[in-house]
Amino acid sequence: MKTSISYNSKQNNLKIYQKYMELIYYSNDIVRKYPKCENFALVAEIKNSLYIGLRNLMYAIKSYQKNDKLKHLNEFDINLNLLKVHIRLSYKYKYISLQNYQTWSSLITDICNMLGGWISSCLKR
């Protein structure tokens, strides 16, 4: 029984990883269309948040200690929140359309919901 729980946990972690990779692909496609003047500012910040988030997600998946896992999950959550701010700025400055903003936001919201469940399950153990 215990192996099925850990298997389900790993399977859920894989889903959040797959969803996050989808977010990275989508984000990279969108930021290619930003003005050149933003390449070293907003685009760099978006990519930085994405890849630091990916690093924290991988550390969380590989961590066995509950405290380490929670630390990386919380850092991952912070990166997602930063990404939300960057996307809001992108929309405000009209670098992205309303549809892009909604799609991007829904991807992040899905990941945040998965992350919230993962953090809750770690706190219950």
Q: Which residue has the tokens 């706190």?
A: 123
- Structure confidence at residue 5 (pLDDT): 43
Percent of the chain topping pLDDT 90: 85
Cα 23 from Cα 107, distance rounded (Å): 6
The domain 2-124 having CATH identifier 1.20.1440.60: the answer here is: yes
Calculate the alpha carbon distances from 59 to 27, 47, 66, 72, 74 in Å.
22, 18, 12, 6, 12
Statement: residue 9 has pLDDT above 50:
yes
Average of pLDDT values for 26-51? 95
Statement: residue 18 has pLDDT above 90:
yes
Average of pLDDT values for 22-44? 95
